[in-house]
Amino acid sequence: MSKSSHITWHDLSLSKELRREQNGHHSFVIWFTGLSGSGKSTVANEVAKRLFDQRINNYVLDGDNIRHGLNKDLGFSDLDRKENIRRIGEVSRLFIDSGHVILTAFISPFLEDRQLVRSLLEQDEFIEVYIKCPLEECERRDPKGLYQKARDGLIRDFTGITSPYQEPVEPEITIETDLYTVEESVEQIIDYLRLKKFI
């Protein structure tokens, strides 16, 4: 696919700051990363409910849901995974510019890709949440039956089995979901947002 050279950036009439002022809150991304079955989507959606109850405009981008539409042309090769995360980074930036809080639940296995998304945003706009859970526990849960399929050779390039997961080096928040309940996990994130005066 060739890139067009006939495009020009068009400045918008409303700034991110004005939208934040109207909404009454900061805008940022909470980037949930971790193995399949670790609890990313569950925790992200519960945080979204808590924020909604506080009248904070937010939206959850879930890895599986996105692959039904925006990224349905992508597979699970390393290159496709990279493109998957690059697109979500750009979508997240649009949400932040619109004054919203965006919660993303993606395995996003590669450090380089998560760092790329961080580099797209300002320093106070990216919160990496490592949903840490031992592989054995994720396999025990196996809510979608994917680990068994990967073990049986029915799924190629499966993170944690036949494809690597690179743990975050310095995430803003680490939550061990084999040790904490969903409610306790959510409270850790809400506490962090309050501490930073984001909410």
Q: What is the pLDDT of residues 148-169, one digit of tens each?
A: 999 999 998 899 999 999 999 9
pLDDT tens per residue across span 61-112: 987 788 878 788 888 888 988 998 999 999 999 999 999 999 999 999 999 9
Print the domain residue range for 133. Answer: 18-195
Residue 130 in any domain: the answer is yes
Picking from 33, 25, 29, 44, the residue whose alpha carbon sits closest to that of residue 170 is 33
Q: Which of 4, 5, 92, 108 is catalytic?
A: 108
> Which pLDDT score, from 0 to 100, does residue 69 have?
82
Binding residue numbers for ATP = 34-41
User: Length of the chain in residues, anyone?
Assistant: 199
Residue 3 in any domain: the answer is no
Other CB atoms closer than 10 Å to residue 99's CB: what's the count?
21
Q: Number of structural domains, the chain?
A: 1
Categorise residue 37: left if φ over 0, alpha if ψ from -120 to 50, beta otherwise: left
Annotated active-site residue 27? The verdict is no
pLDDT tens per residue across span 103-112: 999 999 999 9
Picking from 29, 173, 193, 48, the residue whose alpha carbon sits closest to that of residue 99 is 29
Residue 13 in any domain: the answer is no
Binding residue numbers = 34-41
Q: What is the pTM of this model?
A: 0.90
What CATH number is attached to the domain comprising 84?
Answer: 3.40.50.300
